[in-house]
Amino acid sequence: MSYVKDVLAQLVSRNPGEKEFHQAAEEVLDSLAVITEKNPQFQKAGLLERLVEPERQIMFRVPWVDDNGNVQVNRGFRVQFNNAIGPYKGGIRFHPSVNLGIIKFLGFEQIFKNSLTGLPIGGGKGGSDFDPKGKSDREVMAFCQSFMTELCKYIGADVDVPAGDIGVGGREIGYMYGQYKRITGLYEGFLTGKGIPYGGSLARTEATGYGLVYFVEAMLERRGDSFKDKTVVVSGSGNVAIYAIEKAQQLGAKVVTACDSTGYIYDKDGIDLAALKEIKEVKRGRIKEYVQYRPNAEYHDGVGVWSVPCDIALPCATQNELCGEDAKMLVKNGCKLVAEGANMPSTPEAVAYFQENGILFAPGKAANAGGVATSALEMSQNSMRLHWTFEEVDAKLKGIMRNIEATTSEVSKEYGMENNYVFGANAAGFLKVANAMMAQGIV
């Protein structure tokens, strides 16, 4: 058996039931076979075995009291995967589907994504099966305070710096920041995605969505094309989706869809972003309310966003939301480029179909790295006690995304796999971490 296959088989048998983690590891390791064959020193140093084993996995009880006076118990997670190139960095997800396998898949992806940004950050991820939806602000605060009371023992500005993810936005980060500060007495940059008055970075809210569009813009430019007059289909209506829509519209595209977990909207005239922001960011409402603002738009219950014809598709909701059948529909309807705003939204069947059919496909670990890159810029500002302007941060973000696009493109070419951004991202992200691990000995 080849080295890569051997490591994968061991991983599956040692981590039973963690199917998302298996999926993410398989996707990365498949790309690495060609590199490990050329570099036998990696096998000798047990590099892949060490890479797929988190340095630390923390699971903890999160008790809190709801508005009816009942005690609730959730489970908290933090997986500190790899700190070869910098402190662990990665978001916190609050969603009922969260389990160890999901946090490990996200933490594993984060190692390579963070490496691709060119900034000194390692990989980690955390979360809880707590669902903030439908909870009062007081309940969310009680949960966040309890979660941080335990988590604060394991994180710090130079140790592990969490951020937001699904279900964790400015409100949750604020409550967690307050609790850590209260317990430790430290005013430091141990969380990113903070509010602007207390150390947050301008452009962090926009960063993942804008970064995704900057990445696609660079892909298009490389081929003498642009966003102008392109029809774009976006899924999700959260932080990533909203700002991807905003930037794509600013660059002249027409974005015609958005969705949440109950249904999707199709607005043939282009999404009214002010209406979408009001529903999602102000009212925390459901996407179906959109037709009250735009009576000519359509609302459909359930899935189906990928059946809408487009030139470019940007999945920005959640993992495995775009399956093989969806991929076939997109290709049949003329889609030419797919770039992932979410983490692992396309199933392996979908990715294979895109690649077999000549669709340009950008994986999340490269295309959505703008969020974590800007989080790292927030860490720099906190350390320097400085505050950069929106324009300064946005310009750095754009530079980073264009650089990731160029690196992934060049590495894929170097290995004879031109246009294969999956290979480029895995290989480029891996090599930097691997070289750092080799230099640091067997640890």
Positions touching ligand NDP (CB under 6 A) are 164-167, 208, 236-241, 259-262, 316-318, 321, 341-343, 368, 371
CA distance 177 to 126: 15
Nearer to ligand NDP, 50 or 288 (CB): 288
Which residue's beta carbon is nearest to the bound ligand NDP? 238
Smallest separation, CB 350 to ligand NDP (Å): 15
Smallest separation, CB 46 to ligand NDP (Å): 30
Active-site residue, from 89, 113, 125, 254 = 125
CA distance 343 to 29: 17
DSSP one-letter code for 227? S
Residue 318, both tokens: 């959640």
Smallest separation, CB 128 to ligand NDP (Å): 14
At residue 13's C-alpha, the angle toward residues 9 and 19, to 5°, is 90
Instruction: Give me the phi and psi of 57, to 5 degrees please.
Output: -125, 120
Nearer to ligand NDP, 8 or 216 (CB): 216
Nearer to ligand NDP, 35 or 166 (CB): 166
Nearer to ligand NDP, 115 or 318 (CB): 318
Nearer to ligand NDP, 284 or 413 (CB): 284
CA distance 404 to 236: 24
Instruction: Give me the phi and psi of 315, to 5 degrees please.
Output: -70, 120
Smallest separation, CB 167 to ligand NDP (Å): 5
Smallest separation, CB 165 to ligand NDP (Å): 5
Smallest separation, CB 266 to ligand NDP (Å): 15
At residue 144's C-alpha, the angle toward residues 125 and 61, to 5°, is 70
Active site residue 89: no
DSSP one-letter code for 262? S
Residue 267, both tokens: 């607005």
Nearer to ligand NDP, 237 or 412 (CB): 237
CA-only gyration radius of the chain, Å: 21
CA distance 328 to 357: 9
Smallest separation, CB 315 to ligand NDP (Å): 9
Q: Which helix (H) or strand (E) holds 428?
A: helix 421-439
- Closest to 113 measured CA to CA, from 133, 94, 93, 86: 86
Instruction: Give me the phi and psi of 303, to 5 degrees please.
Output: -80, 170
Packing angle between helix 324-332 and helix 348-356, nearest 10 degrees? 30
Burial environment of residue 2 by CB neighbours within 10 A (0 to 12, 13 to 18, 19 or more): exposed
Residues 6+ apart with CB under 8 A from 356: none
Query: Known catalytic residues?
Result: 125
